[in-house]
Amino acid sequence: MTRKETEREIDARIDLFRRRLKDSDDLKVKDDVFDTRTFMNLYTLAKKGALDALGGSVSTGKEANIFSALKDGTYRAVKIYRISTSDFKAMDGYILGDPRFGNIKGTRRAVISAWTRKEYRNLLRAEEAGIPVPHPYAILENIMVMDFIGRDGSPAPLLKDVQLSPQEAELVFQKTADYMAILYKKAQLVHADLSEFNILYHEGPVVIDMGQSVTLDHPLAEKFLARDVTNVARFFRKRYGIGSEDDIWKKIKSQD
C-alpha cells in the first residue's frame, strides 16, 4: 500500500466517524470535542483494536465527554478530554508535585495529554489494589478507552441520582470508606475529588474520574484527602442521616 493510499484510507475512516456523529440523534456534543486530530486518534485506536465503532454520548463533564463504543459486541466507554475548553491551568495544581509527571511542558495539549496518562495509570493502580474502577484499555493523547459501567448500553447512575434503602445506604457508606482507606494505604493514592458526583452505583459503589488523583508524596495530598472525607461524609449524613468523618478517618488511619 502506498503512502497516498494510506492517507486516503485514513481520510475515509475519519469521514465515516464524522458521518456517524452527524447522523446520530444520540450525539449532542459541541464541535470542540471532535477536531481533526481527535478523529485521527480515534481511527488509530480503532486500528489497534481498542474499539470497533463509536456510539452515542453517555455524559458530559467539566473537562471531558464520554461516549459508548463497541468492541467485539461488548460495550466500552471512550473518554475524550476537550483540548480547546478544558481548564488546563487548574490541572497544573494536580500534575505539579506528582513525581511521575514532573517534566510536562506547559502547552495545553501536553498538559491534557499528561492528565489522560495520569488517569490511566491511577485507574490501573487503584484496580490492582482491589478497588472497583473502570478498567482502562488504551489511551492516545486526550482519549482513553475503558470499561463501560452499566448494562446493555445504559450507563450506571451516579450515586447522587440513586435513592438507597437504609440498609443499602449503610453498606455503600462502609464500602466507600473502605475503598478510600485501600486507595490511601495500599494504592498510595488520594482521589482528590471524591463525592457523590464521582461514584457510580452498579451493584455497589464504583469509583470514577481519577485524573486528578495524586500520590501520597504530592504536597497537597493530605489536604485533598481531608476534602474527600468531608465530601463523602456530608453526602451520607445529609441524604441518609448516617456516617461521619470520624468513621472514615478510623478506617484510613487504622494499622490493619
Considering only CA atoms, which of 81, 88, 120, 75 is closest in space to residue 210? 120
Average pLDDT on 18-39 reads: 58
Q: Which residue has the higher pLDDT, 36 or 216?
A: 216
pLDDT of residue 1: 40
Average pLDDT on 19-31 reads: 47
pLDDT of residue 11: 54
Q: Are residues 134 and 180 in the same domain?
A: no
Average pLDDT on 141-162 reads: 95
What are the pLDDT digits (tens) for 82-96?
A: 877 655 566 666 776
End-to-end CA distance of the chain: 60
Determine whether 198 is exposed, middle or buried from the number of CB atoms within 10 Å of its CB (0-12, 13-18, 19+): buried
Distance CA(200)–CA(224), nearest Å, equals 20
Q: Are residues 108 and 200 in the same domain?
A: no
Q: Are residues 61 and 173 in the same domain?
A: no
Q: Residue 41 corresponds to which amino acid?
A: N
Domain extent for 46: 3-154
Q: Which residue has the higher pLDDT, 12 or 163?
A: 163
Q: Are residues 116 and 194 in the same domain?
A: no
Q: Are residues 144 and 232 in the same domain?
A: no
Structure-block grid coordinates of residue 46? 480503532
Point out the domain boundary residue: 103, 132, 154: 154
Q: In this structure, are residues 133 and 210 in contact, taking their beta carbons and an 8 Å threshold?
A: yes
Max mean pLDDT range (30-34, 134-138, 150-154, 218-222): 134-138
CATH number reported for the structural domain that contains residue 92 in this entry: 3.30.200.20
Q: Are residues 70 and 172 in the same domain?
A: no
Catalytic member of 35, 92, 178, 193: 193
Distance CA(160)–CA(158), nearest Å, equals 5
Catalytic member of 98, 147, 209, 228: 209
Helices (H) and strands (E) in the chain, counts: 7, 11
Active-site annotation holds for 247: no
Q: Are residues 40 and 94 in the same domain?
A: yes
Determine whether 200 is exposed, middle or buried from the number of CB atoms within 10 Å of its CB (0-12, 13-18, 19+): buried
Q: Is 194 in a helix, a strand, or coil?
A: coil
Distance CA(42)–CA(61), nearest Å, equals 20
Residues above pLDDT 70, as percent of the chain: 79
Q: Are residues 143 and 244 in the same domain?
A: no
Q: In this structure, are residues 176 and 133 in contact, taking their beta carbons and an 8 Å threshold?
A: no
Number of structural domains (the chain) is: 2
Q: Are residues 67 and 161 in the same domain?
A: no
Q: Are residues 163 and 39 in the same domain?
A: no
Q: Are residues 224 and 247 in the same domain?
A: yes
Active-site annotation holds for 209: yes
Q: Are residues 132 and 178 in the same domain?
A: no
State yes or no: pLDDT of 156 exceeds 70. Answer: yes
State yes or no: pLDDT of 236 exceeds 80. Answer: yes
Q: In this structure, how many other beta carbons lie within 10 angstroms of the beta carbon of residue 84?
A: 12
Q: Map grid coordinates 491511577 to a residue.
A: 122
Point out the domain boundary residue: 98, 132, 154: 154
CATH number reported for the structural domain that contains residue 245 in this entry: 1.10.510.10
Point out the domain boundary residue: 128, 154, 180: 154
What are the pLDDT digits (tens) for 51-63?
A: 998 888 898 888 8
Average pLDDT in the chain: 86
Q: In this structure, are residues 46 and 71 in contact, taking their beta carbons and an 8 Å threshold?
A: no
How many alpha carbons lie under 13 Å from residue 138 in its C-beta half-sphere? 15
State yes or no: pLDDT of 104 exceeds 90. Answer: no
State yes or no: pLDDT of 124 exceeds 70. Answer: yes
Distance CA(81)–CA(84), nearest Å, equals 9
Distance CA(7)–CA(25), nearest Å, equals 29
DSSP string, 210-226: -TT-EETTSTTHHHHHH
State yes or no: pLDDT of 212 exceeds 60. Answer: yes
